[in-house]
Amino acid sequence: MALAQQVVPVPGPMGALTVGVTGVGLALVVFGDEPDVVLRAGRRLGEPVVTDPAATAAAAAQLREYVAGERRAFDLELDWRLTAGRQRTVLEVLFQSVPFGATVSYGELAARSGLGGGYTGARGVGSIMGSNPIPVVVPCHRVLAADGLGGFGGGVARKEWLLALEGVLTPTLDFG
- Phi/psi of residue 144, nearest 5 degrees: -115, 155
CB of 133 within 8 A of CB of 27?
yes
**Active-site annotation holds for 140:** yes
Q: Indicate which residue of 19, 78, 140, 144 is catalytic.
A: 140
Task: Return the H-helix or E-strand segment holding 6.
Answer: strand 3-8
* CA-wise closest residue to 143 among 73, 85, 95, 86: 95
49: β partners: 3
Compute, in degrees rounded to 10, the torsion defined by CA atoms 12, 153, 145, 83.
120
Give the whole-angstrom CA distance, residue 116 versus residue 112.
8
Give the whole-angstrom CA distance, residue 159 versus residue 140.
9
Pairing of strands 3-8, 143-144: unpaired
Active site residues: 140
